[in-house]
Each structure stands twice: as structure tokens, then as C-alpha cells.
């Protein structure tokens, strides 16, 4: 179940972290569809516990499978899926199959008003009782297969997916979402579930809903969150044949390289050459909602220049199933999404350039990022050719004769004739500007009969990238 069911030539997913369904529907119509995004990963859709201060992570603590959260209710969710599918943008849901909520004193009331007693493992809204869970234990040894899969991840009540009842409830929940028109799922904490149980669940799911434009017999796309740095017992290899797997090594290594810890010339062998999963099994990203909050190599919106360079490379290099992060501003791990005094999530607002202003970062609306989504569509199905580097942190390469990317992460200028592999003509650099009514608002590059053009990226230019493609020919 590795096919994301993209429409047309589209091929980039965006994670609209914590957005409301009505805002996503609007975004599909006014921005994502027109800009060629292939799909949206949405935050968990089912009822969750209410945590004090409303941290984003309360949504990783389910109470029931009723589709009411701070993002909206079932009707709003269904309306969003229909409107996004209508403009060729797929919806993938973040689903929690491993656990329910953690401990909570007394009776908890969820976002749909359902009561539960997590300490007693009692979730009448499903219903689940203690027998549907693994006995409580703590994960102390991450190399102990049993502990990782059958003890509690940060104290979250651990469901027993080998039981018929639990399986039937999970399948019913996922089938409900398929009925509403989603194209697939991000499976949270997949490493904490036995792959045999997941295989049973995935293979039991309905085909995608033909009323939403999916071909007959389409299987739901599955991408599984497995954090595998290469040194634990439970590995990505147990899951990769069931569906795609999040490739965390990609995120760490791309962060390392663009932070300057590893020369960009080494990226020539990017992909399986770096020990990553085969391209069609790898869900790739510069950062995700968890590791963008960790200190370390991973880049996030707080280092915009390097982040944009890394994202340009991510979207230009033909490897993986690409996902772009779209964040809200945070100070620490618990910062809630933008919300009002009544703790309702607020809608994004945009300035005259289309950038978000009220606490939403909206990386996907940064020109340098959405332009690379367009680049990736324009060069889809071409090979990488013509790699060039300066032996250090300046690189360039072509995508067939459809696109060209150059990056300068050295502290001196890149100024020279390079092979762009493009047909002769003048192209607009979609990083420094845009092609508007036939004229380019940024740098232009003239390509000669041999495919060469003069490329200049100053070390103090606003961005360290230059990108040309056939859909932005002046």
C-alpha cells in the first residue's frame, strides 16, 4: 500500500499541522490546488483528551473514534475531504492505533464530550475495557522487542492489536475515514505495534471510495511512523513492505549537510547510497512535528536560509515520497497552536504576499518552498543528470532537460557557466522571484544552444539556491 494516489503530475504532500478542517478546505481551493500540491497530512481527527493549556500533543491521546476535535466535527471533515479531492488534493489522516490516552485523575471528558477513566483503561465511547489493553509496563530497554511493542509509550494505554475486538474497532474507524474520501493514513507509533497485526489491519481495509474519484480497487496509502536510526532491535525493515516508512535518517542527514557539518558534494550519492530505504518505500521530510522541536541537527523554520536550501534540495532531488512541514510558531515543546481566549484554534491570516501572520508559520506559503513544489511537478519522471560540484559546498544538477538546481552553501560566491541541460532560452529563477505575466521578478538566466548558462549565487544573496524549469521560461 505504497501508492499515494496523486492526481496528474503532482507529487508533494504538506502537513498542515493543527489546522482546522474548514481552513484546510479553503486552502485546498485557494492555494494548494492552484500551486500543485498533491495532498495534505492532517492532524488526528478522532476525539482526544483535553490537556491543561491545550498543548498540540493532547491530540495524541485518544478517547474515542468520534470525529470531533479542535479542528472540527465530522461534517466539516467530510466537507473538507470532498472539496480538496475536487481540486485534486488528497487527504491523509494521522491515526493512532497503538494507544489511547495516558493517566488522568478521575473522569476525563474528551473533545466530543465523551467520558473515560484512563486509569482504569475504561473508554466507554468505543467501548474498550482493561482486557483490550496490554498489561501496564514501562519501556526501559529499547532493544527489547517485547517492551517496545507491548509496554506503554510515555504512559499511554497500550492497545492489544492481536485481539479481534480491538482489530475490529480500528478497522471500523479507518473504514469510516475511507468512506468519507481520504486517500490514506499516517500510522503513528507504528514501531510500537507488531507488524503482523498491522498487516492484518491494513489488508482488511476497504478500497478507496470511487465516489471521490479514486479508480476501482485502489488500496489506501499507508505511511508508517518508525523512528529507526539504525541501532535498535525493531527496525524499519519489519514495516517497509506493508507501506511506506518515515525515513528519519533523511531528515537528520539533510540537516547535518545544510548546517555545514557535511560538505554538499557528498549529496551526489543521496538516497539509497546513504543507507536510506528504497525510494518508493521512503516518506521523506526535512523536519516533522516532533523532531522540529528537538535540539540537534534537524533544521526548522527558525533557520530559514538553510531550511529553504535543504527544502529545495529535498524537492529537486529524485528520491522519496516528499512531505513538507507547515508549522505554527513555538517556543518550547508544549506551545499550543494559535488559539483564542476560549481555547479555540484560530484561522490563519495572510498578508498581501500571501504569507501567514498570526502565529502560523505556513512554510508551504514561502515562495521558495511552493516554487519548488512546482519545480518537482515540472520535472516529474525525469532522471538526475549533469551533477557538478566545486569539491565543497557548491553543487548543481539537472532533472532531464526540464529543470536545473544550483546551491551555494560556501561563504564565497558561485559565479560561473554551468550546464543546465535546458533547451536554449531565458528562464526565470523561481527562488529569487516569479514569472508574472511573462516577466521575471527575480534573476533570469539565459541558456545557450549547448545548454550552458551563467549562474550567480552570491554568498550574501537572500537565498543560497537558484532553480530553473521549463514551466518558468520567460
- Which of 188, 228, 287, 363 is an active site residue? 188
Cβ proximity to ligand LM2: between 103 and 237 the closer is: 103
156 binds ligand LM2 per the rule CB under 6 A: yes
Contact region with ligand LM2 (CB under 6 A), list: 150-158, 236-244, 315-323, 406-414 = 150-158
Contact region with ligand LM2 (CB under 6 A), list: 57-65, 241-249, 361-369, 423-431 = 57-65
57 binds ligand LM2 per the rule CB under 6 A: yes
Per DSSP, 404 falls in state E
Residues 284-323 close enough to bind ligand LM2 by CB under 6 A: 290
Is residue 188 part of the annotated active site? The answer reads yes
61 binds ligand LM2 per the rule CB under 6 A: yes
Q: CA-to-CA distance for 413 and 288, rounded, in angstroms?
A: 32
Q: If 0-12 CB within 10 Å is exposed, 13-18 middle and 19+ buried, where does residue 263 land?
A: middle
CA nearest 368: which of 254, 251, 462, 253?
462
Give buried/exposed letters for 308-336 (b at 16+ CB in 10 A, else e): bbbbbbbbbbbbbbbbbbbbbebeeeeeb
Q: CA-to-CA distance for 331 and 351, rounded, in angstroms?
A: 23
232 binds ligand LM2 per the rule CB under 6 A: no
Which residue is closest to ligand LM2 by CB?
Answer: 102
Number of residues counted as binding ligand LM2 (CB under 6 A): 13
60 binds ligand LM2 per the rule CB under 6 A: yes
Q: Which of 18, 132, 160, 188 binds ligand LM2 (CB under 6 A)?
A: 188
Give yes or no for a contact between 426 and 444, defined as CB atoms under 8 angstroms apart: yes
335 binds ligand LM2 per the rule CB under 6 A: no
**β-strand 282-284 against 321-326: which pairing, if any?**
parallel
SS (H, E, C) 343-365: CCECCCCECCCCCECCCECCHHH
Q: CA-to-CA distance for 380 and 360, rounded, in angstroms?
A: 30
Contact region with ligand LM2 (CB under 6 A), list: 147-155, 266-274, 344-352, 452-460 = 147-155
Q: Which cell numbers hold the place of 277?
A: 530505504
Q: Which does 158 bind (CB under 5 to 8 A by kind): ligand LM2, Ca ion, none?
A: Ca ion
154 binds ligand LM2 per the rule CB under 6 A: yes
Which are the catalytic amino acids? 188, 225
Residues within the interface to ligand LM2 (CB under 6 A) = 57-58, 60-61, 102, 153-156, 188-189, 225, 290
Amino acid at each position: 500500500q505504497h501508492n499515494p494516489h496523486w492526481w496528474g503530475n503532482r507529487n508533494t504532500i504538506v502537513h498542515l499541522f493543527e489546522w482546522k478542517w474548514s481552513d484546510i478546505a479553503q486552502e485546498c481551493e485557494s492555494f494548494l490546488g492552484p500551486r500543485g500540491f498533491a495532498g495534505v497530512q492532517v492532524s488526528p481527527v478522532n476525539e482526544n483528551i483535553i490537556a491543561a493549556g491545550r498543548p498540540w500533543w493532547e491530540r495524541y491521546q485518544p478517547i474515542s473514534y468520534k470525529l470531533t476535535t479542535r479542528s472540527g466535527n465530522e461534517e466539516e471533515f467530510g466537507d473538507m475531504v470532498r472539496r480538496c479531492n475536487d481540486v485534486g488534493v488528497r487527504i491523509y489522516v494521522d491515526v493512532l492505533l497503538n494507544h489511547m490516552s495516558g493517566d488522568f485523575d478521575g473522569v476525563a471528558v474528551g473533545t466530543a464530550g465523551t467520558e473515560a477513566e484512563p486509569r482504569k483503561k475504561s473508554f466507554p465511547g468505543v467501548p474498550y475495557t482493561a482486557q483490550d489493553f496490554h498489561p501496564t509496563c514501562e519501556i526501559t530497554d529499547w532493544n527489547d522487542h517485547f517492551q517496545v511493542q507491548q509496554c506503554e509509550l510515555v504512559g499511554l494505554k497500550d492497545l492489544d492489536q492481536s485481539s479481534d475486538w480491538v482489530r475490529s474497532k480500528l478497522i471500523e474507524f479507518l473504514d469510516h475515514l475511507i468512506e468519507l474520501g481520504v486517500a490514506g493514513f499516517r500510522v503513528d507509533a507504528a514501531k510500537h505495534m507488531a507488524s503482523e497485526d498491522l498487516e492484518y489491519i491494513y489488508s482488511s481495509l476497504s478500497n478507496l471510495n470511487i465516489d471521490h474519484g479514486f479508480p476501482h480497487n485502489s488500496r489506501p496509502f499507508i505511511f508508517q511512523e518508525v523512528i529507526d536510526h539504525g541501532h535498535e532491535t525493531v527496525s524499519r525493515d519489519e514495516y517497509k513492505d506493508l507501506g511506506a516508512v518515515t525515513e528519519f535518517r533523511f531528515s537528520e542527514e539533510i540537516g547535518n549537510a545544510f548546517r555545514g557539518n557535511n560538505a554538499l558534494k557528498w549529496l551526489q550519492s543521496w538516497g539509497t547510497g546513504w543507507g536510506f530505504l528504497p525510494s518508493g518505500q521512503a516518506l521523506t521530510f526535512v523536519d516533522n512535528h516532533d523532531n522540529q522541536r528537538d535540539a540537534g541537527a534537524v533544521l526548522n523554520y527558525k533557520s530559514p536560509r538553510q531550511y529553504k536550501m535543504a527544502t529545495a534540495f529535498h524537492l529537486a532531488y529524485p528520491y522519496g515520497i516528499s512531505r513538507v512541514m507547515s508549522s505554527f510558531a513555538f517556543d518550547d515543546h508544549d506551545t499550543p497552536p494559535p488559539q483564542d481566549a476560549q481555547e479555540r484554534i484560530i484561522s490563519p491570516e495572510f498578508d498581501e504576499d500571501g504569507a501567514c501572520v498570526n502565529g502560523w508559520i505556513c512554510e508551504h506559503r514561502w515562495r521558495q518552498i511552493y516554487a519548488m513544489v512546482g519545480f518537482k511537478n515540472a520535472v516529474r519522471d525525469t532522471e538526475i543528470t549533469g551533477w557538478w560540484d566545486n569539491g565543497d559546498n557548491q553543487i548543481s544538477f539537472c532533472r532531464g532537460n526540464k529543470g536545473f538546481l544550483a546551491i551555494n552553501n560556501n561563504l564565497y560566491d558561485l559565479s560561473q557557466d554551468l550546464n543546465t541541460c535546458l533547451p536554449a532560452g531565458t528562464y526565470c529563477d523561481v527562488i529569487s522571484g516569479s514569472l508574472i505575466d511573462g516577466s521575471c521578478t527575480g534573476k533570469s538566466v539565459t541558456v545557450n544552444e549547448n545548454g550552458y548558462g551563467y549562474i550567480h549565487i552570491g554568498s550574501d544573496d537572500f537565498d543560497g539556491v537558484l532553480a530553473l524549469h521549463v514551466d518558468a521560461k520567460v
